Amino acid sequence: NAGVTQTPKFQVLKTGQSMTLQCAQDMNHEYMSWYRQDPGMGLRLIHYSVGAGITDQGEVPNGYNVSRSTTEDFPLRLLSAAPSQTSVYFCASSLGQGHQPQHFGDGTRLSIL
């Protein structure tokens, strides 16, 4: 049972480049979310989705886009990478919305030079 799968695990980008972080879950969860984790700041919500075709902004959405065309996939796009986006990114999913436990992927460690 794969759970939540994130790719890539590591990535180095140059300022201004764009890229997509992939997230897929095989648990038929409706709710999916993206967080970034920076030292001393916990996990901050970037975007979330309550189902296919429905997305909304979290706490720190600027510089990131998302889409949810299927229940399984929830990619996160960096349009023009900036050094401030250097972070560890986690994707999570849950059966329901915020009242259900979230299952996290292993994370993507992203460095912007």
Partner 1 sequence: GQQVMQIPQYQHVQEGEDFTTYCNSSTTLSNIQWYKQRPGGHPVFLIQLVKSGEVKKQKRLTFQFGEAKKNSSLHITATQTTDVGTYFCAGPQSGGYQKVTFGTGTKLQVIP
Positions touching partner 1 (CB under 8 A) are: 33, 35, 40-45, 48, 50, 56, 58-59, 90, 92, 96-99, 101-107
Cα–Cα distance for residue pair 41/86, rounded to 1 Å: 14
Identity of the residue numbered 4: V
CB-nearer residue toward partner 1: 43 or 66: 43
Give the residue with the Cβ less far from partner 1, 31 or 112: 31
Distance in Å, CB of 93 to partner 1, minimum: 12
Query: Any idea which residue has 């560890």 for tokens?
Result: 88
Q: Which two tokens stand for residue 40?
A: 């001393």
Q: State the Cα–Cα distance between residues 18 and 87, nearest whole angstrom.
A: 15
At closest approach, how far in Å is the CB of 37 from partner 1?
Answer: 9
The distance of closest approach from Cβ of residue 88 to partner 1 in the complex, given in angstroms and rounded to an integer, is 9
Nearest residue to 104 via CA among 40, 43, 41, 19? 43
Nearer to partner 1, 14 or 101 (CB): 101
> For partner 1, which is the closer residue by CB, 16 or 98?
98
Tell me whether strands 103-104 and 87-94 are parallel, antiparallel or unpaired: antiparallel
